[in-house]
A and B are shown apart, each in its own frame.
Chain A
Amino acid sequence: MSQARLIQLEADILGKNNGYAAANRARFAKAGILALNLVSSPGSGKTTLLCRTLALLAGEFPCAVIEGDQQTSADADRIRATGAPAIQINTGKGCHLDGHMVGHAVDHLNPPDASVLFIENVGNLVCPAAFDLGEAHKVAILSVTEGEDKPLKYPDMFAAADLVLINKTDLLPHLDFDVDLAMANARKVNHRVRLLQVSARTGEGMAAWLDWIRGARLMALSGRPSQAAE
């Protein structure tokens, strides 16, 4: 005979994802891989920015890319054209990448030790905020063709990001976009966030972004247990 009973669970709803993310993070740390989770709305210029970044970093250290989209492999094709290895994850109906998908993609992609792994998340400022992939940093991209109030409208994402790139700054002369206001709004939700202005099209501001990546990569390398043991 079954009887009604109470199960005290206290289980984190996203605990399973967090477990996969922790395994990814441990793997990246062991290999000295810097993993960056790039998040933005659709159309912020993420893929163009990434292609430009890969072209500028070519020959400096190995880079690899995981591309997340609901459908098509168009973005991975664009990335591969730069010479960097890329793998496409199609989430189908899903609105975000999760730790499990990224773990599988890393198995297939097998990025070399001491490389930089860019994970381009599905264009969506809501759901990817909640799903840890095991990355070192979330980098949010906000283009100047969007509103200055985006950080306030999507506070979870901007609160989770360590760096915000304000992209398409070459268009500023044609727009009413107030960069200072956008930056102030980002700081309202995240007072520690770093902010950089870039134009993937003209290359303006890209040097500071590349320097940020270099710095983060050194941090990832210094945390590498195998190096400490050598």
Chain B
Amino acid sequence: MSTSTVTPPPKKTNRLGLEVLSYKGSKTTLCAGCGHNSISERIVECFYELGVNPYNVAKFSGIGCSSKSPAYFLGMSHGFNGVHGRMPAIATGAILANRTMLGLGVTGDGDTASIGIGQFMHLVRRNIPMIYVIEDNGVYGLTKGQFSATADIGSTQKTGAANDLPPFDCCALAMKWGATFVARSFSGDKKQLQAIIKTAIAHNGLSVIDVISPCVTFNDHQGSTKSYGYMKDHESVLQELDFVPSYDDIAVDIPEGGVMDVQMHDGSHLRIRKLGRDYDPTDRLAGLKWLEDAEAKGEVLTGVLYVNPDKPMFLDMLNLADAPLATLPQTKTRPSREILEEVLEELR
């Protein structure tokens, strides 16, 4: 029997003194190799590394494989797995009730682009301050492989059946109608996805992140345009991204040539280094054109597609109180006896 007294190495913690374990959730029940699991891992890393207080995060999802995943990260945050396609409404209500919460929504392409397209568009239109991650695999996994509305024209199911309708590009929709941080990434690109998620955490407004996340069981075959193989051949990475948190002591250097520096609402910085192509993520209209052209060429552009840290978001338009509405005391929410009398007098 060992009676070893070796002290374990000190545990690694973030600036809040929390271990990475505090950011994990329950064990995933998704398929081994599912892109969604990689996204969950990135979420854990980003929230841990930035030292986001898990008590201040509210997780939201709709229905589908993607929407199960909030159970697999940030176990110390409240979560709400709602109904199919209607996560935006739940998230909007919850954020109105408590504006101090950081909303993190995870959805799929069926949940967002098919049944939920209406709520998605109105979430975009309102620029609700939250992170909205679309785990985009072009199929309904949980009902075994039917096409979703992001499936590309001509892409095929496992059975060989081809999709004959054009896809919705959720990023283009988000850019057109009001989201203020829009990015596309690939579940297999750890560094890019991390920088994007971290920027979204810092952003004050709606962040729409469309992550191509292959479904290993129903849409990872030849003929799929959302497979690992297809992404390997057709992904066109626009930029090299670097996120510099606001609390980092590193003095903000003057960006070198070819590097764009975007200061986010919380004082952190997004460094964007162009890779070959001259994409300007602050030019919304040009970006839409880029997406259109890429689609025609069968390319998948990834990176930061649009960023606008200055546009007013919904809560400011409502002139909402700073403290959470949810816990305002009665003195703030029930008008006085005199006010009731004043109203009644008007009705006499």
Bind each other: no
